[in-house]
Amino acid sequence: MRGIILRIFGILFLSFVSLSSQAETLKAKRFIGYLQKGNFCSTEFLKEFNGTIFSTLSKELYVLNCPVENENLEVKNPYVKFIYAKKLKKQGKTEEAKKLFKEIFSSTNRLDPEIITANAGDTKYLFTPEVLRKKVWIAIKDREFAEAEVYLSFLKTDPFYNYFKGIIQLKRGNYRKAKEYLESSNIPLRYFFLIYVSKEPAEKFFYFRKLLTENVPAYYKKAASVYLLDRFLVGEGGFYRKMLDSIKTLFPKVYRTYRIKYEVINYNYEKAINLIATPQNEKEKVWRETLKAKLGFKSDYSFLIGKKDFYALLLSKPKKVVKEGNVEISNPDIKYLLSNNYCPVISLLDLKSKDIPLALYKCGYYSAALKAAVKLKVKKPLQILYPKPKIFGDDFISLAIARQESLFNHLALSRSGAIGLMQIMPLTGRYLAKKLGDTDFFKEKLFIPEVNYRFGSFYIHSLLKKFKSFPLAAAAYNCGPGNLKKALKNYGKIKTKEDLIIFVDFYLPFKETRDYVKKVSRNLYFYSNLYGTGQEWKSFLKP
């Protein structure tokens, strides 16, 4: 959050660009002029850029540099909001300041020392049970368990105390203690987590039935249903059928999908085909035709012609990727900023112009460009959606993985602790370090793009050599080689494309992995077509 301040003040020292009468109407040029002069405190500055792509940035500069008099300014950046609150407090606008302090304190743990110091002697209003619960949950999601315990210590008499203690232990991998705390809690959602920490199928099913009776969001009930159905699909037929009976009316679509899966996993292909005689979506069409092929009947995949999803890549002729020529930026303000290398300014603009993703891409801010393109629904040029950072060279395999793992953000840190471009877990990093002869490994090195790419590339390519197929290697990258081996043992040898479809959709044990395999396979197709010969992806999609 403070990085924004450093970038803003870095702009102040950019080389002077004289204002010409022809470009006087450009908001961008006038904005840069304000930056160079440091003149942010006039009401004209705020008014001139209100409602433009510079609106948020101008307000932040105003708050950071000027004696704020208008308490109705809306700022989003937590650090800027903190500065705003401090200034309001100094002006004697105590209630307005407290409101902002509480908003920040409730939404992030990153500014806690500053907020507590700014409210020294008057922090009681911050430490309410409602706010503290949010603080604990934020810390848990960030895997800052020691911090979560500190805030939880203020909630010892709160109904959520044992509930949060249980979740912390779960996240730490101590399932026995997690279960003890969760069982002693009265929070209805405890059953959702008890399903995960319980070992025995009967116990998992017991807590699931309890969860269904509680007034909790349907999302949790559905997520638990999918988790248990995947868990019981192989080897727990009795509980699987009970699960299906439990959700038949509650989640009919989930019921239908897993009813079909049950027949397939038990080799009742004809029954499965009858269940999807009238497919409800494209996936069911694929299943029907794939199962027909397994029975020796003629299949019709014509409905996939021209598409580019996982099924079309395997079973049909995918639509050709059209490489766009040089796409120009039309917005004169963004064009001006880019041509004068004001990339830090572009990265801070409001997302009000569809030229911003392209400008960010040309600046080399690939992660920001990709996110902006998705948010603004910008699909051209395709290079924005499938960027190729230099560090990857022509390693299309690693590009396909990294795009899905981190959107090319080398500082990415997942909730599970995966790090960097290719989201490598510290334990895996240590294993790869030994393989690659890195005797000075420590987990923070995974934030270094060159290190992360070298480790991740070695790992995915070694999995590819081991499993002989990109979709299988990608599955192993996501859920672990051990889980993939178990799934392969249950299915048997994959000989045909139909085998691969059935294996991915019916035998991979996690929904996340099933979705992951399809997404990275599609990524590989686009990288091959955009930057290669358009043929590289084919060999890796063959079983």
Q: Which of 104, 103, 98, 151 is nearest to 122 (CA)?
A: 98
Distance separating alpha carbons of residues 222 and 243, to the nearest angstrom: 12
Distance separating alpha carbons of residues 87 and 66, to the nearest angstrom: 9
Q: Does the active-site annotation cover 405? A: yes
Query: CA 59, 60, 62: angle at the middle one, nearest 5?
Result: 65
**Vertex 73: Cα angle to 72 and 78 (nearest 5):** 120
The whole-angstrom separation of Cα 444 and Cα 437 is 17
Q: Measure the CA–CA gap between 543 and 531, rounded to whole angstroms.
A: 24
C-beta of residue 403 within 8 angstroms of C-beta of residue 531: no
Cβ neighbours of residue 348 under 8 Å, at least 6 residues apart? 4, 7, 8, 56, 57
With a CB cutoff of 8 Å and minimum separation 6, the contacts of 490 are 234, 507
- How far apart (Å, rounded) are the C-alpha atoms in residues 219 and 121? 42
- Please state, in angstroms and rounded to a whole number, the distance separating the CA atoms of residues 9 and 231: 53
CA of 206: how far to CAs of 197, 210, 440, 450, in Å?
13, 6, 48, 48
Other Cβ atoms less than 10 A from the Cβ of 77: the count is 20
**What is the identity of the amino acid at 110?**
R
DSSP state of 204: H
Tokens of residue 293, six digits: 């092929």
Tokens of 142: 């960030």
Q: What is the dihedral of CA 80, 83, 84, 87, to 10 degrees?
A: -160
SS3 409: coil
CA-to-CA separations, 29 to 25, 190, 348, 353, in angstroms, rounded: 8, 56, 16, 17
Separation between Cα atoms, residue 396 and residue 403, nearest integer Å:
10
| Catalytic residue selected from 405, 444, 498, 512 | 405
Helix intervals (H) in 387-446: 396-406, 426-436
3-state secondary structure of 533: coil
Q: How distant, in Å, are the alpha carbons of 140, 225, 226, 228, 251 from that of 219?
A: 20, 10, 11, 14, 11
For residue 404, which of 526, 319, 258 has the smallest C-alpha distance?
Answer: 526
Cα separation of 366 and 57, whole Å?
A: 21
Give the bridge partners for 542, in sequence order. Answer: none
Active site residues: 405
